[in-house]
Amino acid sequence: MVDQSPRSSAKTNAKAPTGEDLKTAPLDEVEKTLNSSPKGLTQTEAKKRLDQYGPNEIAEKKTNPFIKFLSYFWGPIPWMIEAAVILSGVVGHWPDFFIILLLLVTNSVVGFWEEHSAGNAIAALKAKLATHCRVKRDEAWVTPPARELVPGDVIQLKLGDIVPADVRLLDGDPMSVDQSALTGESLPATRHPGDAIFSGSIVRRGQNSALVYATGADTYFGKTAKLVTEATNVSHFQKAVLKIGNYLIFLAVILVAVIIAVSIYRGDPLLTTLQFALVLTVAAIPVAMPTVLSVTMAVGARLLSKKKAIVSRLVAIEELAGVDVLCADKTGTLTQNQLTLGDPYCVGDLTADQVILDAALASRADNDDTIDLAVLSGIKDASLLKSYQVLHFTPFDPVNKRTQASVKDQDGKTFKVAKGAPQVILELSSNGDEMKSAVQKVVDDFASRGFRSLGVARADAEGPWQLVGVLPLFDPPRDDAKTTIATALAMGVKIKMVTGDALAIAKETAKKLDMGANILDTSHLDSDGQKNSGAEGDAIEHADGFAQVFPEHKFHIIDVLQQHGHIVGMTGDGVNDAPALKKSDCGIAVSSATDAARAAASIVLTTPGLSVIIDAIKESRRIFQRMNSYAIYRIAETLRVLLFMTLAILVFNFYPLTAVMIVMLALLNDGAILSIAYDNVQYKNQPESWDMRSVLGIATVLGVVGPIAAFGLFYLADRVFMFDRSHVQTLMYLMLSVAGHLTIFLSRTRGPFWSIRPAKVLLIAVFGTQIIATLIAVYGLLMAPLGWGWALFVWGYALVWFLVNDRIKLLAYRILDRNKSTAAPTARHTPGVKHPAEPKTDGNS
């Protein structure tokens, strides 16, 4: 029984009419219940219902900001700091107690704010990807965001759309929908007028209008599926950095355990030793690592959005930096996607105008399809179309590969027209066999000149289909395509054309763009993956492009390239590109992409062309460089502090820093390093990948040389200048702070430290924190005052060692690169394994 209760009417605070009744009841009863019709709603009524039922979305579970802030005080690292606070109070070290407590709160505030800002940035970017839909309001089609849909709305569904709400199909042709995400069905299901289609389904075939009967949490998806927060996929780079974090924690625990054991053996006060050990552990653990990762990725995503590339999955930034093969669609990416109509081939005595008219009647301007628009633009007198009435129109779909229309002329006679792929139209036509050789010759001739061919057929009343002609369509290459392809090649990215066009067209386009002439057609591809021979894999790897390609071929191409060790980027726009976009390491939905393609992709472009993709690759490589610099710096600094402190305690039985000094050192380090997300870097002209050997090698060299310099100053202060122990501690605090921050300028370049100019924000952050550290040491805040003279001496000493370290770093890079080049000839690609690219050895990499 249809729910006729008062809640179905438009009353304030009414609930949306949902349930099995509206899914299965007769369509006219559903319209009556929803107080709607095929004419849709008015804007006024829609607004009223939006207030009534709420947005068409499943509300995300948001954490209370206060609870989120408190979470920064919960976990292994905060527990250690809190334990140090408690121990300071127990032993009566009240200055330590208050300063460590203050630094704990400050670190939590900074971490909370930065993560909150990063979250807001990502939310703003994702809002740009909000799905829109065609809705009939006030009897006119408009395209509001899908979240504004309400029960009773009439929407239009077409190929590639993700169904935005639970709907009932209105009068029209059956549609094929993919409901695998909801029901697990592997094959598309056919839905007839009156049938229900659930929110989240993908339209695979057909075009129709539909009546919305449930939105938001009241949909089938909303009621049957628990809210699943998007899983945060950890990229290869993040995994590597997290491994570094675990390594540093393990190292810190081992060395601190040694310190505790020796102190107990020597009879030092247990509580004081324990407090110091906890603080040293806190300083060694990369507390800021999650925040630096989040901020750097969020800043990178904002930079990419300015280049018209919106990141829907943050970890895609790292994948994009490593792409070495880009499979690019021809139409719209390499070409302008602005088709122009040439002189058609006409069968028999038919004129060009008649052939173009038949093709135009099988086209629709409101679909905004480039082929349809090109055909319609070929009509010399647009008013001629008004004398014909289109009774029924069947849109293009990947199965039939044609559009078709039933038409009535001004004399009342009915006929049918169709346009589509020439081979499809030949099979449809009764005169196809006799015209096959002639049409093939025409198609080959058009293709040799870079034209796509479009077959046109007509059938009078119930008579047989007759081929009437072939239309040539030309899609000129984009003005910047040739230069961009050359730029990509210089960057180590091989662009392979992927097109459904004929082999001759693909070769002609590739020739114009200097892409290479080795274009394979589908006869070389095994879409089922049964053969996958070595010869086929080599052919795919060395091909410059692929012609007459279907979606299953795209998937296979990507699979083979990945098995050969390549990191593959893939562009796509159609619903059938979705599997390949998901399969690729970095799926890129072009500006004209369907909802399904955008949902499957990691990056969505908002402007056409290949240049925006290359710009995005450049930016992602810069982001990668910043992360690489941070990793080297973080390891080197931890080694520097841990080794110096441990050796000083074990060898000299002296604590060179107090607990408060260590915590302040850690806080100033973490505060400044956040600015590395905005640093100036130069991308490498080759794909990026995580080279752990190089990172650990350079970081270890810098981390070991640092304690040597520190012990040199310790010897001078203790044995030459005869400082008392409290002033030695102040001197060492300033030395470790200044020298540690200068390490940032060593880790950020492979060449001399001056080879890439640092960003102003990095300079301000580093020297700003060091001015604070210097003032603390000079005037003795929570330590013995050092005075300006000795403070300047420390700065001079640190700068001298900074210059020495820079030379040592260059030598270390040369040794590592020499060893790597020696080992390179023996390296082989292993299927499924991503191999690091060889880094440049010049100073600007």
Residue 834: predicted pLDDT: 40
> pLDDT category, 116, cuts 50, 70, 90?
low
The tally of CA atoms less than 13 A away on the side-chain side of residue 780 is: 8
Contact of 512 with 538, CB cutoff 8 Å: no
Please choose, from the candidates 324, 235, 245, the residue with its C-alpha nearest in 3D space to the C-alpha of residue 287.
Answer: 245
Task: Please give the model's pTM, rounded to 2 decimal places.
Answer: 0.69
User: Using alpha carbons only, what angle is made at residue 546 by residues 542 and 550, rounded to the nearest 5 degrees?
Assistant: 135
Active-site residues, by number, are 329
pLDDT at 9 over 60: no
Q: Is 801 helix (H, G, I), strand (E, B) or coil?
A: helix
Pairing label, strands 414-420, 451-460: antiparallel
Residue 461: predicted pLDDT: 79
Q: What mean pLDDT, rounded, does the chain reach?
A: 79
Which one is predicted more confidently, 818 or 119? 818
Residue 121: predicted pLDDT: 53
Nearby residues of 410 by Cβ (< 8 Å), 6 or more positions away = 387, 388
Contact of 545 with 301, CB cutoff 8 Å: no
pLDDT at 830 over 60: no
Contact of 294 with 115, CB cutoff 8 Å: yes
> pLDDT category, 732, cuts 50, 70, 90?
very high
Please state the rounded mean pLDDT for residues 185-195.
74
Would you state the structure tokens that stand for residue 377, as one six-digit string? 């633009």
Please state the rounded mean pLDDT for residues 508-516.
86
> pLDDT category, 187, cuts 50, 70, 90?
low
The pLDDT > 90 percentage for the chain reads 17
pLDDT digits over 517-528, tens only?
Answer: 888 887 766 645
Residue 419: predicted pLDDT: 93
Residue 839: predicted pLDDT: 36
d(CA 212, CA 210): 7
Residue 836: predicted pLDDT: 37
Which one is predicted more confidently, 16 or 781? 781
Residue 368: predicted pLDDT: 66
> pLDDT category, 760, cuts 50, 70, 90?
very high
pLDDT at 63 over 80: no
Residue 71: predicted pLDDT: 76
Which one is predicted more confidently, 838 or 249? 249
Residue 310: predicted pLDDT: 82
> pLDDT category, 236, cuts 50, 70, 90?
low
d(CA 46, CA 31): 15
Residue 10: predicted pLDDT: 37
Contact of 424 with 400, CB cutoff 8 Å: yes
pLDDT at 712 over 80: yes
Element (H, E) at 463: none
Which one is predicted more confidently, 807 or 691? 807
Element (H, E) at 743: helix 725-747
The mean-pLDDT minimum among 339-353, 659-673, 754-768 falls in: 659-673
Residue 701: predicted pLDDT: 92
Nearby residues of 138 by Cβ (< 8 Å), 6 or more positions away = 40, 42, 43
Please choose, from the candidates 416, 450, 442, the residue with its C-alpha nearest in 3D space to the C-alpha of residue 430.
Answer: 416
> pLDDT category, 829, cuts 50, 70, 90?
very low
Q: Measuring CA to CA, how many Å separate 107 from each of 91, 99, 663, 720?
A: 24, 12, 11, 38
pLDDT at 659 over 90: no
Residue at token pair 């349930």: 19
pLDDT at 411 over 60: yes
Residue at token pair 């924000």: 761
Residue 406: predicted pLDDT: 92
pLDDT at 224 over 60: no
Q: Measuring CA to CA, how many Å separate 198 from each of 94, 164, 595, 740?
A: 64, 8, 16, 58
Residue 24: predicted pLDDT: 78
Would you state the structure tokens that stand for residue 541, as one six-digit string? 């790897």
Burial of 370 (0-12, 13-18, 19+ CB in 10 A): middle
pLDDT at 807 over 90: yes
